[in-house]
Amino acid sequence: MNHTISTDSYHACSLCPRGCSADRYKATGFCGCGPVLKAARAALHFWEEPVLSGPEYEPGGSGTVFFSGCTLRCAFCQNFELSEEGHGKEISSGQLADIFLRLEAQGAHNINLVTATHYLPSILPALDQVRHRLTIPIVYNCGGYERVSTVMALKDYVDIWLPDFKYFDNQLALRYSRAGDYFETAAAAISQMIGQTGAPVFETVAPDSGSPYRLMKKGVIIRHLVLPSHKDDSIRLLHWIKEHFPEGQYLLSLLSQYTPCFHSSQYPELNRRITTYEYNQVVDAAISLGLTQGFMQEKSSAKEEYTPPFNLEGLE
Ligand code: SF4
């Protein structure tokens, strides 16, 4: 074991920027999680970016493990059963290691850790057990709200970073995620991620049937979900990204799939899908800035099936 994050971290937890100092053996912090790993689904997932999930005509998909709890708990979270309600099943690090191997055997193109930070002391031992056997990359799928020190500690574990960059205006971050320091925290974390991986690396796969396709092996994909009523914040964020992150060193993934759910009804401005006009304004801004390396979701993608059933599949 050669990482600096251990289960001692659960005693006075500062794994994420909340820095609750909770002794998670006795009480929970903002994420609502104790010291025992909990997950709600471990299965192949086909709705990530195509360089992660592969094309529709090929078996494979991303080997996602959805962990319970969250350090952001956004008001509009589509996975609210996990982030807010803590739904899931307790598993050991050894069981998680077996799950990683099983996902690879099922044909996963990668192991995709979804919202993992609050359980890192339990996840890293699982990776230590199997990473010499895994031949597929590890994806770290997170809300962008990370400590730089945590990103650094994961240098030898994570091949592909998949952070959200949710807000430019910290007032929005405060209102919807109770994180008034979100912007500068995420900016520093993502900058570190880019520095650690360097430019994206791909592998071309040429199946006997179907066309060749590319899978990502290393790099950073910055995700941004366009929120209803807040296209101007999205556009300001794109300008900042263009000015501050080195060109060619990351991919941008613009998402239009916002669907009102959970607490959205408490925020009238969020209680609807985005309009075509709003989304096109953001897409046009990205194009005019030259931010075209990456993915722009079709506006018609606002479908609930992007959220899989959290039925404990793959955790037996
Ligand atoms: S991981 Fe949870 S308990 Fe630890 S600092 Fe973050 S929110 Fe608090």
pTM for the whole thing?
Answer: 0.95
pLDDT band for position 303 (cuts 50, 70, 90): low
> What CA–CA distance (Å, rounded) separates 149 from 201?
24
**Neighbour-count burial of 266, counting CB atoms closer than 10 A to its CB (0-12 exposed, 13-18 middle, 19+ buried):** exposed
| Cα 142–Cα 143–Cα 148 angle in degrees, nearest 5 | 80
- DSSP characters over 125-180: HHHHHHTTT--S-EEEEE-S---HHHHHHTTTT-SEEEEB---SSHHHHHHHHS-T
| Ligand 1 mean position, distance from CA 5 (Å) | 14
Q: What is the pLDDT of residue 1?
A: 41
Record the tokens describing residue 5, joined without a space.
Answer: 């994050």
| Ligand 1 mean position, distance from CA 68 (Å) | 13
Contacts of residue 132, defined as CB under 8 A and 6 or more positions apart, other chains included, come to: none
Q: What is the mean pLDDT of residues 29-42?
A: 95
Q: 142 phi and psi, to 5 degrees?
A: -140, 175
Residue 264 has pLDDT above 90, yes or no: no
Question: What are the beta bridge partners of residue 64?
Answer: 43, 112
- The CA–CA distances, whole Å, from 295 to 84, 134, 225 equal 29, 27, 12
pLDDT in tens, 55-73: 877 888 999 999 999 999 9
Neighbours of 51 (CB within 10 A): 24
Residue with tokens 């999680």: 33
**In ligand 1, which atom is closest to the CA atom of 16?**
6
Best mutation site among 8, 10, 11, 18 for ligand 1 pocket (most ligand atoms within 8 Å of CB): 18
Ligand 1, residues at Cβ distance < 6 Å: 13-16, 18-20, 22, 24, 29-31, 71, 118
Among the ranges given (83-97, 153-167, 255-269, 290-304), the one the predictor scored with the smallest mean pLDDT: 290-304
Q: 9 phi and psi, to 5 degrees?
A: -60, -25
> What CA–CA distance (Å, rounded) separates 227 from 255?
9
Residues 245, 190 contacting (CB under 8 angstroms): yes
- The CA–CA distances, whole Å, from 35 to 32, 127, 226, 238, 265 equal 10, 17, 34, 37, 32
Of all protein residues, the one whose alpha carbon is nearest to atom 6 of ligand 1 is: 16
| Ligand 1 mean position, distance from CA 144 (Å) | 14
- The CA–CA distances, whole Å, from 114 to 65, 129, 163, 246, 311 equal 6, 19, 10, 26, 16
pLDDT in tens, 168-213: 999 999 999 999 999 999 999 999 999 999 999 999 998 877 788 9
CA 45, 48, 52, 58 dihedral sign is: positive
